[in-house]
Amino acid sequence: MIDHESTTICIMRHGETDWNSSGRLQGTEDIELNDRGREQALEASSYFEKEAWDIVVSSPLKRAFETAEIIASRLSIHSVKIIDEIKERSYGSASGLLPEERGRRFPDGTIPDQEDFEKLRERAMTGLNRIANEFRGKRIIIISHGGLTNSILYTISGGEFGSFKTRLKNGCINKIILENNNWSVEFYNKTASELLHLI
């Protein structure tokens, strides 16, 4: 059956944390936003306010949920739906390490106890499809994480975007569309200030 109803989703990476600013690898650790991260959430709100949105969905981790709450409040959306499947990738024993520390401990770049990329993709797409099915035809904002979002972009673009090719900026917005049961990427890795400049 052909579904002519389109579902619009903006997936935003959470605002900055102190671990982000220092370069520490951040996985499932529950780190809060810093002041810059809260500013990024407010900046994103200014972009999202230009259009109507139906729902805000978030990872359960604090940095994503706080970003989502700031945006939902500005959009007068009264609750944020939490979906566990869109939390960040687990980086195992590499989590919390600075780049030079990771280089010393894992010189070939292989982290044996991190979440497998294929399992991450499967989890991410399960979460994305769950959201799209529950809110079919709606306009949805998802607040998630760099690794998780990259795995979605990689999957729906057939490897053209995402994975290890793109370092997603804190607070970046990635717009995807589901139409006729096919996903497409409208834009990715754009900050609110970049997008507002185009309006």
Give the phi and the psi of residue 101 in degrees, each rounded to 5: -70, -40
Amino acid at 127: G
Among 14, 16, 85, 145, the active-site one is 14
CB-based contacts of 181, cutoff 8 Å, min separation 6: 2, 3
Annotated catalytic residue, options 16, 66, 85, 88: 88
Contact between 185 and 152 under an 8 Å Cβ cutoff? The reply is no
| Parallel, antiparallel or unpaired: strands 80-82 and 139-144 | unpaired
| Identity at 87, one-letter amino acid code | K
Rounded to 5 degrees, φ, ψ at 5 are: -85, 125
Question: Is residue 101 flagged as an active site residue?
Answer: no
In this structure, what are the phi and psi dihedrals at residue 46, rounded to the nearest 5 degrees?
-65, -35
Block residue for tokens 């604090």 = 62
Strand order in the sheet with 182-190: 80-82, 55-58, 139-144, 7-13, 173-179, 182-190
CA atoms lying within 13 Å on the CB side of residue 168: 29
For residue 118, indicate whether it is catalytic: no
Q: Give the residue numbers annotated as catalytic, written as ranges.
A: 14, 88
